Structure 1
Amino acid sequence: MNSGKETFQKKNIAPKSLFYRFSQLMGFLLGARFFVAILLTFALYVSTFFLFNQEESLRNFVFDFKVHGIIFCTVLTILAGGIINQFYDFEKDHVVKPFRTRIQSFIKQKYFLYVYLALSIISLGVAWFISRNVFIFFLVYQFFMWFYSHKLSRILVLNNLTFVSLTLYPFFGMMVYYETFSIKVFLMAIFLFFILLCVDIVKDMLTKQVDKVFGYTTIPNFFNTKTTKIIIISLLVFTMLVSMKLILRTGISGFMSYYFSAGLFVIILCIYLLLDYSRRSKFLSLNILRFWIFIGIIAMLLSGIEGNL
């Protein structure tokens, strides 16, 4: 009788234990923004080889371990930044992202901090091994990652500008490393900067009330909805002008020219959606802009492959 009871208990314990371990893994991946880090890594490799690297062959690029080391340090820093950000935003995420917070609850917060410290130290260690300048570059990056989560994310305008700047910081580093300074690269950087800025402000519109409760002073909860929409639409119109400049004045060709041309219609669609006051329209415009950024990475990849054929 007891033997049967013990067998029944073992059968029930195993699945729970497996589910618990899986939940811990997913909690860590979501907490560290692992999937965002993968996308940024892909974007870094594509932009580095096809945009910033103008002279090096594919073979030399593959065996350029310094570049791979810098990208590796970038990935670790992004993962560490995601962890420290969720640590400071834990209460807010309980309301905004209940499912993700529930999964993350399978891991104690102190373990997230341990991993944050480990990732930061490994990143700085590898950076020091590459060069002193690279070490300073990542030391500054990590400091502002922490300072953004700790303080700047609650300050009006600075929260949006810092978030976008930190997202683009690794790409700026690669541009400096390869000394790729041109009007085309400059305009593409401005285009991406304003698209990301619009994404961040629209995201803040969706979390307006929660941000106000937890002391985050964002553009949507400082100004009224009408003023916020005017700001976003003005930024999108400016982004359209940058796209037109890229198409007409820089001689951009291939898939990238199609991307920026089609982007004019995508931005017009987002402006139309933002004129509506429904939450659904804001959510839809947010995801269209996010998706269009991803399409831009694919377009750059295809354009680069086309140019090398």
Structure 2
Amino acid sequence: MNSEKETFQSKNDISKSLYYRFSQFVGFLLGARFFVAALLTFALYVSTFFLFNQDESFRNFVFDFKVHGIIFCTVLTILAGGIINQFYDLEKDHVVKPFRTRIQSFIKQKYFLYAYLGLSFISLGVAWLISHNVFIFFVVYQFFMWLYSHKLSRVLIVNNLTFVSLTLYPFFGMMVYYETFSKKVFLMAVFLFLILLCIDIVKDTLTKSVDKAFGYTTIPNYFKTKNTKIILTALLIITMIVSMKIITRTGVSGFMAYYFAGGLFVMIFCVYLLFNSSRKSNFLTLNILRIWVFIGIIAMLLNGIESKF
């Protein structure tokens, strides 16, 4: 009888241990924003090969280890940035994201900091092996990632502009690497910048009171609801104008042409939702814009496959 109890207790201890380890693993993935990093990696590969890389064959691209090294450093930097951001936003996240912070609580904060330092040093080490210019590029990237989390995320307007700029920074690096400077690429970059800016501002409307309580000066809690709607509407209208410029002036075709044309209706629908003063409509607007960015990546992939293969 005692033997059976001991066996049962042993199995129970093992299951608890596995649950604890699994919770630690999931907590680390959430803390490092792993899924965001995965999406950005996919977007980087798609945009690099199908937009910035105009002449190189697929075979040469696959064996261009310098490009893979740069993207690898980018992924590590994004993971490190996610960790340091959650470290500084921990109190706010307890209110805004209680489930995620509960999962993350299985890992002590000091281990997140160790992971941050480890990822940062590995990224810089690989960057140094690639070239000194790439090393400087990532030193600047990591510095502003830390500065944003430590200070800039609390500064009005600067917080939104810095967040979007840091999101697009790796794409800018690839554009410089391939020396792909054209009107088409510039307008697409402006389009993406505006959409990401709208996403960040709409996201701030959902955490308005919490941001104010924890000292984050955002557009919604400084300019109030009515003026925030006007700002977002103006940004969406400018985004529509940029979309029309891309369609009519850059010769974009195929799936990308359908994407930018369809985007006009998406933006109009988002404007309609913004003037429905409810948290649900803001949440819907946020997710529509996020999905539209993802659809843009898929459209670029399909358009590139159609043209290159």
Normalising by structure 1, report the TM-score. Answer: 0.99
Q: 1:57 — aligned with what?
A: 57
Aligned to 1:197: 197
- The one-letter amino acid paired with 1:48 is T
Name the % identity.
81
Displacement of 1:225 after TM fit?
0.2
Partner of 1:12: 12
Please state whether the residue corresponding to 1:175 is helix, strand or coil: helix
Distance 1:237 1:206 in 2: 22
What is aligned with 1:180? Answer: 180
Residue 223 of structure 1 is matched in structure 2 by 223
Question: Alpha-carbon deviation of 1:281?
Answer: 0.1
Amino acid in structure 1 at the alignment position of 2:40 = L
Residue 102 of structure 1: CA displacement? 0.4
Shift in Å, 1:289: 0.0
Instruction: Indicate whether 1:121 and 2:90 are aligned.
Output: no
Measure the CA separation in 2 of the matches of 1:256 and 1:42: 17
For 1:259, give the aligned amino acid. Answer: Y
The amino acid across from 2:90 in the alignment is F
Instruction: Kindly state the Cα deviation for residue 308 of structure 1 after the two structures are TM-superposed.
Output: 1.3
Gaps spanning 5+ residues in structure 1: where? none
Residue 104 of structure 1 is matched in structure 2 by 104
Are 1:151 and 2:170 counterparts?
no
- Matches of 1:240 and 1:223, distance apart in 2: 24
User: Structure 1, residues 210-247: CA drift from partner, whole Å, max 9, x if none?
Assistant: 00000000000111100001000100000000000000
Please list the CA deviations of residues 143-194 of structure 1 after superposition, one character each: whole Å capped at 9, or x if unmatched.
0000000000000000000000000000000000000000000000000000
For 1:41, the equivalent position in structure 2 comes to: 41
- Mapped partners of 1:290, 1:110: distance in 2: 32
CA deviation digits over 1:41-87, x for unaligned, max 9? 00000000000001111111010000000000000000000000000
Paired position in structure 2 for 1:296: 296
Q: CA deviation at 1:16?
A: 1.0
The aligned counterpart of 2:133 is 133
What residue identity is the alignment partner of 1:36? Answer: V
1:18 is displaced (CA, Å) by 1.1
5+ residue gaps, structure 2: none
> Which residue of the partner structure matches residue 31 of structure 2?
31
SS at match of 1:224: helix
Please tell me the root mean square deviation across aligned C-alpha atoms, in Å. Answer: 0.6
Q: Which moved more, 1:218-227 or 1:11-20?
A: 11-20
* Deviation readout 1:229-284 (Å, 9 max, x if unpaired): 10001000000000000001111001000000000001111110001111000000
